[in-house]
Amino acid sequence: MIRECKHCEREFNDSSWQKKKVGGYVNECPDCVVEFGSEQSVKYRGVTAGDGKMAALSILKFNSDEEADAYVRSFNQSSGSNARKMNRCNDIRFEHVGSNIANSNHKGKK
């Protein structure tokens, strides 16, 4: 849909990839969203850790897409039994929003 920007009065496509990437209000063009910093959406990411039959899911809130992407990259780059202790996830600011913790006791395991 073609709209007119409330700041610069230029027409823009509100369903373009650039508009979807930068966000902002529906009546702001992508350039003005970046210039005025009007994107206020919360950046959420979900990460999982497998244990037993069910994976543990954690939902985290970040201040920016850059922090969220850096956390997920750091979380995913580690592999092996002790590798998680060496990632840089704790260096990135986030807020824990929710979780679904796995039950590792399955099929008679004690």
Q: What is the pLDDT of residues 42-94, one digit of tens each?
A: 788 888 877 666 778 888 998 888 888 888 888 887 655 555 555 678 788 88
What is the value of pTM for the model shown?
0.55
Q: What is the pLDDT of residue 90?
A: 79
Cβ atoms within 10 A of the Cβ of 65, count?
Answer: 14
Tell me the three state secondary structure of residue 18: helix
pLDDT band at 3 (very low <50, low <70, confident <90, very high): very high
